[in-house]
Amino acid sequence: MTMIDPFGRSIDYLRVSVTDRCDFRCTYCMAEDMVFLPKKDLLSLEELERLCTVFIEKGVKKLRLTGGEPLVRKNVMHLVRQVSRHLETGALEELTFTTNGSQLARFASELADCGVKRINVSLDTLDPEKFRAITRWGDLGKVIAGIDAAQAAGIKVKINAVALKDFNDAEIPGIMRWAHGRGMDMTVIETMPMGDIEGDRTDQYLPLSLLRGKLERDFTLTDIPFKTGGPARYVTVAETGGRLGFITPMTHNFCESCNRVRITCTGTLYMCLGQDDAADLRGPLRASEGNELLSRAIDEAIGRKPKGHDFVIDRRTNRPSVSRHMSVTGG
């Protein structure tokens, strides 16, 4: 069974935000004084598991748990263990995480035991002072220790860096060399106009076409068809032997091949990261013990998945394209 959207795309990738909370306050993602959702609005771990199971029954093959920071959700490993049963049956092909790495040292071996083979760690700088500045209070040492623990547990780590003009653009080659030297792929991501963050995003925005041009002065980049299920377009870097991905929602969107939908920790289904249209799944989830209402609500929502997003960052459009913060929808 597969879910097909109005444009013939097969929807087989689900990203689930298990919490809107985070132990960092990254400046391009959150306001410093973020107001988090009341606990009563959040789906319980059992409800999240039920939602995931229904999506897997409807053809989802890849499930990514995100946040906020997913590992700060209390008892999150209970959810991971429950969902990992679908890996054992073969109904689910991959269970992955996006994390800031702060809690990885605690959870890496348990994640590996649950069949998590691959994770993404968000890391925008290797300079401890700059790291503290951009995360507002994060500890780089803890993140590196988390990456060490994940690799020791046999989990493949990919580094995700948001490219920010005049902040880390000069550092990207060094981060890439470091990641590739440790056997990790790396992906660079354009900043996206989501949520008010107290700053001007036009000052942060760096088109990756410019970054790639700069990298090509020092590195030999060769396009390859490698895919992980997400939107990154990959190159190999001859000088490091590693892979570098570019996620370009702004300069070159990837909507034509979009195979994913997102669920927030309150049970709201977003068919597109860059559109406000959404479907409430918490209502049908709580309305009955059976999954028929929920299944119907999912079908109806997939039937309205849009062709693409309308992200814009320029001087005329100095406001977020969507009002919710990235931490609400899950990276």
Compute CA 149 distance to the chain's CA centroid, rounded to the nearest angstrom. 21
| 272 assigned to a ligand binding site | yes
109 is in an annotated binding site: no
CA 220 to mean position of chain CA atoms: 28
pLDDT beyond 50 at 311:
no
How many residues make up the chain in this entry?
Answer: 331
Residue 26 marked in a binding site? yes
Mean pLDDT taken over the chain: 89
Per the annotation, does 322 bind a ligand?
A: no
Q: Is 265 annotated as a binding residue?
A: no
Please give the structure tokens belonging to residue 257: 């091949």
pLDDT of residue 313: 40
Q: pLDDT tens for residues 29-74?
A: 778 888 889 988 899 999 999 999 999 999 999 999 999 999 999 9
Q: Residue 71 pairs with which residues in a beta bridge?
A: none
* Ligand-binding site membership of 52 (annotated): no
Strand partners, 280: 268
Cα(284)–Cα(298) distance, rounded to whole angstroms?
10
Confidence of residue 277 (pLDDT cuts 50, 70, 90): confident
Instruction: Please tell me whether 68 is known to bind a ligand.
Output: yes
Residue 153 token pair: 């547990």
Residue 114 assigned ligand-binding role: no
The pLDDT, as a whole number, for residue 238 is 98
- Cross-strand partners of 158: 120, 185
Check whether 29 is labelled as a binding-site residue.
Answer: yes
**Cα 254 from chain centre:** 15
The annotation status of 258 as a binding-site residue, yes or no, is yes
28 marked as binding residue: yes
* 319 marked among binding-site residues: no
| Residue 158 annotated as binding site | yes
Is 255 annotated as contributing to ligand binding?
yes
Angle between helices 45-57 and 76-89 (to 10 degrees): 20
Please report which confidence band the pLDDT of residue 317 belongs to, taking 50, 70 and 90 as the band edges: very low
- pLDDT, mean of residues 246-270: 83
DSSP 223-251: EE----SSS-EEEEETTTTEEEEEE-TTT
295 against 200, higher pLDDT: 295
pLDDT of residue 186: 98
DSSP annotation of 1 reads -
At 311, give phi and psi (nearest 5°).
-65, 135
Residue whose tokens read 């609005």:
41
Does residue 267 register a pLDDT over 70?
Answer: yes
59 is in an annotated binding site: no
Domains of the chain, CATH where assigned: 3-162+255-329 (3.20.20.70)
- Contact indicator for 26, 251 with CB cutoff of 8 Å: no
